[in-house]
Amino acid sequence: MAVPIGRLYRSFSDARSRARWLPGVKLTVRSATRFKYMRLLWPDRTLVQIGFIRKGPKKSQVAIQHGSLPDRQSATRIKEFWAERLAALEQALTPGRLTG
């Protein structure tokens, strides 16, 4: 994403910022290392691990692993969910960005 790592990290760590792109999800931050890593407990008690990578002064990357899912169908649904939500996050972080 075309944003500094601090801004990307805050979009996950700050509840108010997170609500802009991940509305209605009440999660618990289990542990975090600023600008590097975060472990979340999802409302259904599954674990979400997030890694943050600095790619440059104004570019960063996020990787999400959502584990402990009961079956392949759940994994497919959550993969689609995260793809949609990450697109919403990118839009929220870079509102002037052209898409398509």
For the stretch 36-83, pLDDT in tens is 999 999 999 999 999 999 999 999 999 999 999 999 999 999 999 999
The CA R_g of the chain, rounded to the nearest whole Å, is 13
What does the pLDDT read at residue 100?
42
Q: Do 86 and 94 meet the contact criterion of CB atoms below 8 Å apart?
A: no
- What would the CATH number be for the domain defined by 5-93? 3.30.530.20
Distance between CA atoms of 57 and 55, rounded to whole angstroms?
7
Phi and psi at 14, nearest 5°, equal -95, 120
> Domain map of the chain by residue range?
5-93
